[in-house]
Chain A
Amino acid sequence: MADKLAFRPRTIRFSIASSVERRYRTTAVLFVLPALVLLLAITIYPLIRTLSLTVMAQELTVSPDAEYVGLQNFQKVLADGRFWNAMQNTSFLVVVGVAIQLVAGTGLALLLSEIGRSRSVWVSLFLIPVMIAPVVAGFQFRVILNDSFGPLNYLIKWVSGGLISPPAWLADPKTALFSIMLTDLWQWTPFMLLIVLAGLQSISVELLEAAEVDGASYWQTFWRIKIPILLPVIIIGILIRLMDTFKTFDLVYLLTGGGPGSSTETIAYYTYLNGFKFFSMGYTAAMAFVQLVVIILVSRAFLAIQNRQQKVG
């Protein structure tokens, strides 16, 4: 597995005079500059701009003038029930949603690894949801989950012979967030399937045969051999999904608009509402800043794990 992780540096080794080497290095720095400038434009610049906004109160719906308010915006964020509600909804999607994607994706990958030649056809078909725009996925689930003309509730009633009366998925505050999670599951479970399958295919057949000869049961092989080998792959998959689910915006915008009430507002969606619907600039900036802190903490964890894997590799 170790050689599957992309770390096999092949740098240029110089056997020439150091003055020439220095000239090359200067050119190499120039190569990075355009990318550096662009990336600074989304990280450092917004950070500065955001920071200077966070200490201002600027309600564009009231007046274009900004007023200095110190740290009040941060206090407001931390005391805002709707903000914490959004955090809670986001956490639900991140924790429960990604966990289900992981388990279901791993299960399907294990099944696919038992199938012979036709595997790549299956994988191609499974992958279609991953490559679809969330806008399109969102609208399709709005149709499918619709209470009056959607096929899902019709099928539930038909299968149960009318015994179960299914909820109005998106209109009921109890099921709306779950419906968003379901759409996300639909789109991203195949992603987990794909990367776990890639990991499974890297396990040597000899190793599995040896285990079989030694009389290991399926589950022993699974827990003792496959899972430890798959772990680095699974961690990468979880982190990528974690990061992306934290940003969930499109599906909320399209499926529920945050409602009913604010039962499906995610943190990205609530930030959008404040900035682009309520036009509270300072407040939005403070909220964006809090998210940045969360993301920086998570990305630190990502780097730590990547670093450790590199050492193992």
Chain B
Amino acid sequence: MRRTRPAVRVMAGIILAAALVFFLFPVIWMFLTSFKTQAEVFASPPVFIPGQWNLNNYAGALLPPPNGSGGWAGIRDSLIVSLSTAVVSVAVGALAAYSLARYRVGGQQFSFWILSTRMFPPVASALPLFLIFKELKLLDTYEALIIANTIFNLPFAIWLLKGFIEDSPAELEEAALIDGSSIFGAFWRITLPLITPGLVVALLFSFIFTWNEFMFALLLTRKAVRPLTVIIPSLVGGHEILWGQIAAAGVIAIIPGTLLALFLQRYIVRGLTMGALKS
């Protein structure tokens, strides 16, 4: 056993604790701000602990106008768009990944081309996409956001699932094919159950990426569809910025990501690197 000297460990602990304060402070500050009154937010020197722990900001952020800022509808829109995007990305991605992993369709160049589309700057395709959706009368609809987000999640889903499929044995599928199963039958009944963890990781990450996405949400929507990431900046009103409500909406917005960070650590490396690294 390799042991680290106790003194070194204590030092490491102290430095890490200091770093952790830096990385968690904004989150904690947001949590505190979400309970402050507007006067407390603007106080100088700053108020650290809010005077009263009530849910006024949460109500204000969530209730529909005129009483609030419409956060409920935002959560609903974000959920619809993120869930649909996750399901479509993983469905389309799994089929493609299976074909790439098991049949090498298009060869390695094609796989890498798919990877390279991940590097495509969204802003470069935002204008053409905007124009297409305008012609199709899809601006300000769930469909537009789902399509745009799916396209940008696909390379991720394909590469992640391709890695999972390559890691699982092909013999069972071969046996099924010899026994007369169709490719889709082999894929559906044998491959998919084998890569269940991969499907879960791909679903969760596609969900989070879409939940957190801002540019398309901003550019492709107007009034009918307003995801949470668009509602939050809209709280910067003409005459005053509702910091308490922004913080309350922020606390709600980070719940899915925080849960993922806390409970799915095992798969996070693989998810964040599109399967390039495993841990």
Chain A residues in the interface with B (C-beta under 8 A): 4-13, 15-16, 24-25, 27-29, 31-32, 34-36, 38-39, 41-43, 45-46, 49-50, 108, 111-112, 114-116, 120, 122-137, 139-141, 143-144, 148-151, 154, 186, 189-191, 194-195, 198-199, 201-202, 205, 208-209, 212, 233, 236-237, 240, 243, 246-247, 249-250, 253-254, 268, 271-272, 275-276, 281, 284-285, 288-289, 291-292, 295-296, 298-299, 302-303, 306
Contact = CB atoms under 8 A, between A and B. Distances in A.
Given A31-B98, A114-B4, A250-B215, A133 B254 contact: yes
Contacts of A144: 25-26, 29
Contacts of A249: 122-123, 214-215
B122 A247 contact: yes
Contacts of A10: 101-102, 166-170
A139 B151 CA distance: 28
A133 B258 contact: no
A25 B103 contact: yes
A115 B12 contact: yes
A52 to B, nearest CB: 10
18 contacts: A4-B277, A10-B167, A12-B170, A15-B178, A16-B178, A31-B95, A42-B151, A115-B16, A124-B265, A135-B233, A149-B43, A151-B46, A202-B279, A240-B272, A246-B121, A288-B127, A299-B116, A302-B115
A295 B124 CA distance: 11
Q: State the majority secondary structure of interface residues on B.
A: helix
B16 A112 contact: yes
Q: Which 10 residue pairs of A and B lie closest in terms of their CB atoms, listed nearest first?
A: A131-B257, A46-B128, A35-B96, A133-B212, A288-B124, A28-B103, A31-B99, A127-B261, A6-B163, A198-B279
Interface string B265-279: 100110011011111
Contact of A131 (B19, B152, B260): B260
Interface string B191-223: 000000000000000001001111100110000
A139 B277 contact: no
A11 B104 contact: yes
For this complex, into which size category does the number of interface residues on chain B fall? 35 or more
Nearest to B155: A39
Contacts of A212: 2
Contacts of B243: 143
A290 B246 CA distance: 36
Interface string B233-271: 100000000010011001001101110111001001100
B225 interface: no
Contacts of A120: 265
B30 A140 contact: yes
A128 B257 contact: yes
Nearest to B163: A6
